[in-house]
C-alpha cells in the first residue's frame, strides 16, 4: 500500500467501525494498492489480518514456523503491531478467517451484533446528485443525526456528500407513494394501510413492504434555502415497473 503524502491527516479510528467505513477513510487518505487500486472492505481485511503486520512470515496462508522451536519465523521488517494485537484483530473475524480464510467470505463476528436499521427508508434511498460528467451518483443515503427538531435525522449520501434529505420528509414521501390519496402507481390492501397508519405495524414489516414494492428510490438534491417539504424529491424505482399498467395500477 502506498500513501499519498499530500493527503490529509488520519482521524483516530474509533472502536467497532465497519470495514467499509475504514476502507472509505483509507480512500479519503489517498491510500492505494501497489497497482493503484482503491481499498475496499476485502482488501482492508486482507491487510489487517496479514501475519506480516506483526512481523510474522507466512507463505500461501501458512505461518512459517521454526522447526526447532515451533515458533513463528520473524521477517526482516518493523512490525506495526504486536502478535497479541494481531491475534486480537483476527479474533474479531469468524473462525477460520485467521489469516487463512480471506476476504468477503470472512464476515466479522461483530457484524452479527450490528443493530437493525432504525429508520424506515434506510437502505432504500439512492443519491440523485449529478456528477460534473452528467452521470448520477446513486450512492446510498444513510441515516444520521439531524440538526433540527423538524428533522431529528437526515439521510445523506456518503459517496458525494452533496445530497441529503430530512429523515421524516423521506419517510413520509415513501408512505405517500405506497398509499397515495388519489389513484397511484400501486394499490396495496386497505387493511395494510390501516395497520400501517394505526401504528400496529412494526418497522421491520413496513420495511419488508417497501422492499417488495421499490427497487430503490432516487432522491433529487434539494434547493438551497427552500424550506417547504417537497415530497416529489423522492422518485421511486418500482420493482414491478414492467407490470405497471398505463393506468398506473399494478396488473
Ligand atoms: Zn451522492
Average pLDDT for runs of 10 along the chain of length 251: 43 63 90 83 81 84 79 89 85 57 48 70 94 92 90 92 95 93 79 92 92 93 86 90 49 40
Q: How far is the CA of 181 from the centre of ligand 1 (A)?
A: 31
Q: How far is the CA of 210 from the centre of ligand 1 (A)?
A: 22
Q: What is the pLDDT of residue 35?
A: 81
Q: How far is the CA of 247 from the centre of ligand 1 (A)?
A: 33
Q: How far is the CA of 177 from the centre of ligand 1 (A)?
A: 22
Q: How far is the CA of 11 from the centre of ligand 1 (A)?
A: 22
Q: How far is the CA of 194 from the centre of ligand 1 (A)?
A: 35
Q: How far is the CA of 226 from the centre of ligand 1 (A)?
A: 20
Q: How far is the CA of 217 from the centre of ligand 1 (A)?
A: 13
Q: How far is the CA of 182 from the centre of ligand 1 (A)?
A: 32
Cβ atoms of 30 and 36 within 8 Å: the answer is no
DSSP 8-state code for residue 20:
H
Cell of 81: 503491531
Q: What is the pLDDT of residue 95?
A: 56
Q: How far is the CA of 43 from the centre of ligand 1 (A)?
A: 23
Distance CA 62, CA 60 (A): 6
Q: What is the pLDDT of residue 14?
A: 43
pTM above 0.85, yes or no: no
**What is the dotted CATH code of the domain comprising 2-113?**
3.90.1750.20
Q: What is the pLDDT of residue 101?
A: 45
Q: What is the pLDDT of residue 108?
A: 54
Q: Which helix (H) or strand (E) holds 93?
A: none
Cβ atoms of 160 and 127 within 8 Å: the answer is yes
Q: How far is the CA of 163 from the centre of ligand 1 (A)?
A: 6
Q: Could you tell me where in the chain the CATH 3.90.1750.20 domains are found?
A: 2-113
Q: What is the pLDDT of residue 8?
A: 40
Distance CA 64, CA 73 (A): 6
Q: What is the pLDDT of residue 61?
A: 64
Q: How far is the CA of 89 from the centre of ligand 1 (A)?
A: 32
Amino acid at each position: 500500500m502506498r500513501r499519498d503524502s499530500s493527503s490529509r491527516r488520519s482521524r483516530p479510528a474509533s472502536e467497532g467501525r465497519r470495514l467499509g467505513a475504514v476502507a472509505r477513510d483509507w480512500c479519503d487518505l489517498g491510500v492505494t494498492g501497489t497497482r493503484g487500486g482503491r481499498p475496499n472492505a476485502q482488501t482492508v481485511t486482507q491487510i489487517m489480518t496479514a501475519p506480516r503486520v506483526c512481523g510474522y512470515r507466512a507463505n500461501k496462508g501458512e505461518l512459517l514456523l521454526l522447526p526447532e522451536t515451533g515458533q513463528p519465523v520473524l521477517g526482516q521488517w518493523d512490525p506495526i503491531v504486536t502478535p497479541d494485537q494481531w491475534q486480537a484483530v483476527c479474533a474479531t473475524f469468524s473462525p477460520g478467517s485467521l489469516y487463512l480464510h480471506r476476504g468477503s467470505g470472512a464476515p466479522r463476528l461483530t457484524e452479527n451484533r450490528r443493530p437493525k436499521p432504525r429508520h424506515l427508508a434506510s437502505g432504500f434511498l439512492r443519491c440523485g446528485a449529478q456528477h460534473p460528467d452528467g452521470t448520477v451518483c446513486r450512492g446510498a443515503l444513510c441515516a444520521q443525526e439531524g440538526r433540527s427538531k423538524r428533522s431529528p435525522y437526515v439521510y445523506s449520501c456518503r459517496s458525494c456528500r452533496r445530497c441529503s434529505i430530512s429523515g421524516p420528509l423521506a419517510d413520509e414521501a415513501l408512505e405517500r407513494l405506497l398509499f397515495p390519496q388519489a389513484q397511484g402507481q400501486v394499490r396495496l390492501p386497505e387493511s395494510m394501510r390501516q395497520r400501517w397508519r394505526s401504528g400496529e405495524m412494526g418497522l421491520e414489516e413496513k420495511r419488508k413492504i417497501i422492499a417488495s414494492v421499490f427497487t430503490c428510490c432516487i432522491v433529487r438534491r434539494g434547493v438551497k434555502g427552500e424550506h417547504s417539504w417537497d415530497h416529489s424529491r423522492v422518485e421511486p424505482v418500482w420493482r414491478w415497473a414492467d407490470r405497471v399498467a398505463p393506468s398506473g395500477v399494478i396488473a
